[in-house]
């Protein structure tokens, strides 16, 4: 089996700060995703990538950038953290599109 590792697990930032979240997968999956999880709102897609150096915007891409420089890694940047923002960012990967595997998440708090 494989694993998706997200770093850091907890991230505290200041308003206006640029923050980067990292994700590594050893499944050798082609497609990777970043989802945002808010309490009571389900998971919403921010960015996804179907192969190395590919980037596709999801429904929630405004305020974020992403980078897929290697097949195994996918990073997400919050371009300007919003005060009092609290959310969990979940990285995921998929080999075929019919099963998606998730990491445990990075919990972001902006003070």
Partner 1 sequence: GDSVTQTEGLVTLTEGLPVMLNCTYQTAYSTFLFWYVQHLNEAPKLLLKSSTDNKRTEHQGFHATLHKSSSSFHLQKSSAQLSDSALYYCALSDRTNTGKLTFGDGTVLTVKP
Footprint on this chain of partner 1 (rule: CB under 8 A): 4, 31, 33, 40-45, 48, 50, 56, 58, 90, 92, 94, 96-105
| 3-class DSSP assignment, residue 88 | strand
Smallest separation (angstroms) from partner 1 to the CB of 108:
15
Smallest separation (angstroms) from partner 1 to the CB of 58:
7
Q: How many residues does the chain have?
A: 111
For residues 95 and 51, give the distance between their C-alpha atoms in angstroms, rounded to a whole number.
11
Smallest separation (angstroms) from partner 1 to the CB of 74:
13
For residues 31 and 72, give the distance between their C-alpha atoms in angstroms, rounded to a whole number.
10
Closer CB to partner 1, 2 or 16, in the complex: 2
End-to-end CA distance of the chain: 38
Closer CB to partner 1, 48 or 74, in the complex: 48
Closer CB to partner 1, 35 or 81, in the complex: 35
For residues 29 and 71, give the distance between their C-alpha atoms in angstroms, rounded to a whole number.
8
């Amino acid at each position: 089996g494989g694993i998706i590792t997200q770093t850091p697990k907890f991230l505290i930032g200041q308003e206006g700060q640029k923050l980067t979240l990292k994700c590594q997968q050893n499944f050798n999956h082609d497609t990777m995703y970043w989802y945002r999880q808010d309490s009571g709102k389900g998971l919403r897609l921010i960015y996804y990538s179907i192969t190395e150096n590919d980037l596709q915007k999801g429904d929630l891409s405004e305020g974020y950038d992403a980078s897929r420089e290697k097949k195994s890694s996918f990073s997400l940047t919050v371009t300007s953290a919003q005060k009092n923002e609290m959310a969990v960012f979940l990285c995921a990967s998929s080999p075929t599109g019919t099963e998606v595997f998730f990491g445990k998440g990075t919990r972001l708090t902006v003070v």
